């Protein structure tokens, strides 16, 4: 396969993972797999939470795709590589920037990172699995749009996320 094809498959996989993650977050994590994801919406105790098992599942799938691709099932290795790159971006943006699960204590004040940060904070402004907004991890609607959606869903003002919920304490 040509390098251009490989790069295209990698980039398409990376972008497609945001759609996959959005659907998995909305319909699986906030659906039948709430038992794992609930830990992410509660104050974390220790380094890990049950929700981290989703990362293990996605990493296992990416490893399997890379392995199959390297055994002749091209271009699966580049799909797996795109998934892996998405996982790295997720770790930096979601776990690091938003939830401060590693020593970065930066709260963005403008631009894309502020929008991403606010959108995920608004996702956590709701107790429980119902009535949440913003299920993406690397793409986020505007804060005003999300506030309007929260008011429509809940019929009133929204609250700030609990201090300490999933490592959030700002």
Percentage of the residues of the chain whose pLDDT score is greater than 90: 75
Instruction: Round the CA-based radius of gyration of the chain to a whole number and report it.
Output: 17
* E strand or H helix at 85: helix 76-90
State the total domains in the chain. Answer: 1
Q: 107-163, pLDDT tens digit by residue?
A: 999 999 999 999 999 999 888 899 999 999 999 999 899 989 998 988 866 665 554
CA neighbours closer than 13 Å in the CB half-sphere of residue 126: 22
CB 101 within 8 A of CB 39: no
**For residue 94, what are the domain limits?**
3-98
Kindly report the pTM of this predicted structure: 0.87
The answer to whether residue 147 is domain-embedded is no
Cα–Cα distance measured from residue 129 to residue 34, given in angstroms and rounded to the nearest whole number = 7
Peptide bond into 82 cis (omega under 30): no
């Amino acid at each position: 396969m040509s390098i251009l094809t490989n790069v295209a498959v990698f980039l398409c996989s990376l972008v497609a993972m945001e759609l996959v993650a959005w659907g998995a977050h909305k319909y699986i994590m906030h659906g039948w797999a709430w038992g794992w994801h609930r830990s992410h919406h509660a104050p974390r105790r220790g380094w890990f939470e049950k929700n981290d098992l989703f990362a293990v599942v996605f990493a296992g799938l990416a490893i399997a795709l890379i392995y199959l691709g390297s055994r002749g099932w091209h271009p699966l290795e580049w799909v797996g590589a795109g998934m892996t790159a998405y996982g790295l971006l997720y770790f930096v943006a979601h776990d690091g920037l938003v939830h401060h699960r590693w020593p970065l204590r930066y709260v963005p004040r403008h631009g894309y990172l502020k929008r991403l940060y606010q959108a995920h904070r608004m996702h956590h402004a709701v107790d429980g699995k119902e009535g949440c907004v913003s299920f993406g991890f690397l793409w986020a609607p505007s804060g005003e749009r999300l506030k309007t959606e929260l008011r429509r869903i809940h019929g009133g003002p929204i609250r700030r996320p609990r201090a300490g919920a999933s490592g959030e304490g700002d």
